[in-house]
Amino acid sequence: MAIVKMSKFSLFAFDSEMEDLLHELQKFEYVHFVNLEEEEELIEEGLEAVSVPESIVEVNEEISKVRYGLDLLSQYYERSTGIKGMIEGKTTLAFEELEKKALEFDYHPVYDKLRSLAGEISKYDEEAGRLNTRKEELKNWQGLEYPLKDLYSLKQAQVFTGILPAKMKDKLEEELLELEYVYFEVVKEDNKNLYIFALTSKDEGEKLNEILRINAFSNIVLEGEGTPKEELNTIEERLKALKAEKEKTIEKVKELAVYVPELEVLYEYLMNKKLRVAANENFLKTEKVNVIEGYVPTEKVDEFTKIIQKTQKNAYYLEVHDAEEDDPNVPILLKNSKFVETFESLTHMYALPKYNEVDPTPLLAPFYLAFFGMMVADAGYGLLMVIGCFVALKVANLSESQEKFIRFFYYLGYSTIAWGLIYGSVLGGLIPIPGLIDPATEYQRLLIVSIAFGLIHLYFGLGINAYMRIRDGKYLEALYDVGFWYMALSGGIVFLLTMVVPLPAIVKTISKAVLIIGAAGIVLTNGRSAKSVGGKLASGLYELYGISGYVGDFVSYSRLMALGLSGGFIASAVNMIAGMLFDSGFVGILGGIVVFVVGQIFNIFLSLLGAYVHTIRLTYVEFFGKFYEGGGKAFNIFRSKPKYINLK
């Protein structure tokens, strides 16, 4: 239950056999390739980078087509939602099943038909767009009762149609009086514009045009056969016909939505195929031989070796050896018990451990469990968590990540129940039960418990630091960087206690001596990396000043008490308000039920969110800060992360 032990391999294999090899390795899954293009020594020796096969272009084209089909059809594919959708979940397939189903499905007829139908829909939309544009142009001219086909073809007269600012109306009418044969009509008027129709003789056409121009006239040529109203009616009829035709075509598209599951399976297959083809970028080659390096879990070396033997019909060279502990390039894979693995997401969020570190997940898990429960501390909330998560785990078809997330809160629910019983809290005191601690009156005792938990947490973190150094044979470093801190902190804590608690004088003397020895040790050893004596002492004094940081760390654990109290008080306040409403008759009872349900749900959300975030904070800042560096590289499993299915 720790970091998976890795073995590094080097393989020389013929280029002609790479496709079969990569295919079998993808089934195997647990192989992490090293990008050899970054190895300058190998490049200098004459090895060349393996070019990605041209087949990747075909794969990308296929992926593009399948994605096109999914994007278009998914909106018409009916999926179960809510609880039913969670119960059904995604389809679960083994890798071999995925390949078999994908290769059995010929998507080309579906894609071709879909493209054709989409083209028809696009044509309908384009024509509808043009008609709507004409509709917008004509809607302001419905008052014009002249056929548009004859409007601009008069031999003895000139017609003007267009827009004029409404504020120019009076000025225009006055100037038009100068013309003898003009006919002027306002077809429509709004707050800003006049839609005008003007008619005059050919002789006065230029004069009318000049008058209109100086009055900010914008000419509009109306196109069509009948009157604007008739044209609008024709447009409306055509739009209705287009809508009906489009709906019929969409129905044909909807009929193709039944192929969505098959397209999803094909998409996952193609993404894995692309990963397989793209893996060649990591390799180097000679004229006929590819050079491959990478890592496999040591426990799977035999299986890996058998795959090489199976796929390499010609000669090959394979070398496998244990990865070096101090190699920063060794990829990290964690393996823990079912309980501990639910907490691995916390480690991933911070940073994976280096190969020569310890996996902090099993170390943080019990503390996270205890601290979370202490911050929520309500047996009713915990019971709801346990029941809800248990039902989801038993009934729903969950992905691996979803299952871990649900189990994470399932385990936390038990801790919440335990602390709720200790506090005597069930739904904020709705059901009175005796507890070991009354948070409302014994908050000082609760604060002491919180600080005590913090002391254990920090000391445990320092202890892990000491273990890692002793494991690596660095015994003096364990004494310098941990032992002296244990002495300084423990001596200081006991010495301060003797000032407020009646203890024997010998305890005060011993604690004072331990404090002084620890502090002196820190000053004399913690600056050992400095070159000069003065630098060593100055650095040591600065490190000793860091003891003030421990004071802040201890105070941080008061949040264990604070969040538990705040959640309990909010729940009690909700119960109190609901109780007052219950005494106000039938309407009050209904209101009280609403207040109780909504209030408790809101408080559960706040309590769980607060506990989740603040426990992470105590883990990352206070706990990890004492021993954990992180920075490891994740082991890249040779599989594409599934999007639509659960892949075993």
Residue 151 and residue 158: Cα distance in Å, rounded?
Answer: 9
Task: Please report, for the chain, how many H helices and E strands are present, in that order.
Answer: 25, 16
pLDDT at 527: 80
Residue 175 and residue 79: Cα distance in Å, rounded?
Answer: 69
Q: Is 270 exposed, middle or buried (0-12, 13-18, 19+ CB in 10 A)?
A: buried
pLDDT at 509: 86
Taking 3-state DSSP, the helix, strand and coil percentages for the chain, each rounded to the nearest 5, stand at 65, 10, 25
Q: Which of 10, 19, 648, 102 is nearest to 276 (CA)?
A: 19
Provide the CATH number for the domain formed by 153-220 in this structure. Answer: 3.30.70.2750
Pairing of strands 284-285, 289-297: antiparallel
Residues 277, 53 contacting (CB under 8 angstroms): yes
Residue 174 and residue 182: Cα distance in Å, rounded?
Answer: 12
**2-53+275-327: CATH topology:** Alpha-Beta Plaits (3.30.70)
Residue 102 and residue 100: Cα distance in Å, rounded?
Answer: 6
Residues 24, 307 contacting (CB under 8 angstroms): yes
Residue 558 and residue 562: Cα distance in Å, rounded?
Answer: 6
pLDDT at 298: 93
Residue spans of the chain under pLDDT 70: 1, 38-46
pLDDT at 645: 86
Residue 553 and residue 455: Cα distance in Å, rounded?
Answer: 9
pLDDT in tens, 348-385: 999 999 999 999 999 999 999 999 999 999 999 999 99
Which DSSP state fits 503? -
Which residue type, as a one-letter code, is found at position 404? K
Strand partners for 596? none
Query: DSSP per residue over 350-385, as a string?
Result: H-PPPTTS---HHHHHHHHHHHHHHHH--HHHHHHH
Q: How far is CA 354 from the centre of its chain?
A: 25
Residue 202 and residue 154: Cα distance in Å, rounded?
Answer: 10
Residue 611 and residue 441: Cα distance in Å, rounded?
Answer: 22
Residues 143, 102 contacting (CB under 8 angstroms): no
Q: What tokens appear for 559 in the block?
A: 């949040």
- Write down the domain spans for the chain: 2-53+275-327, 54-135+230-274, 153-220, 360-626
Task: Give the count of alpha carbons within 13 A of 336, CB side only.
Answer: 22
Say if 2-53+275-327 and 153-220 have the same CATH topology: yes
pLDDT at 380: 92
Which DSSP state fits 163? E
Residues 423, 439 contacting (CB under 8 angstroms): yes
pLDDT in tens, 24-73: 999 999 999 988 876 666 665 667 777 777 778 888 999 999 999 999 98
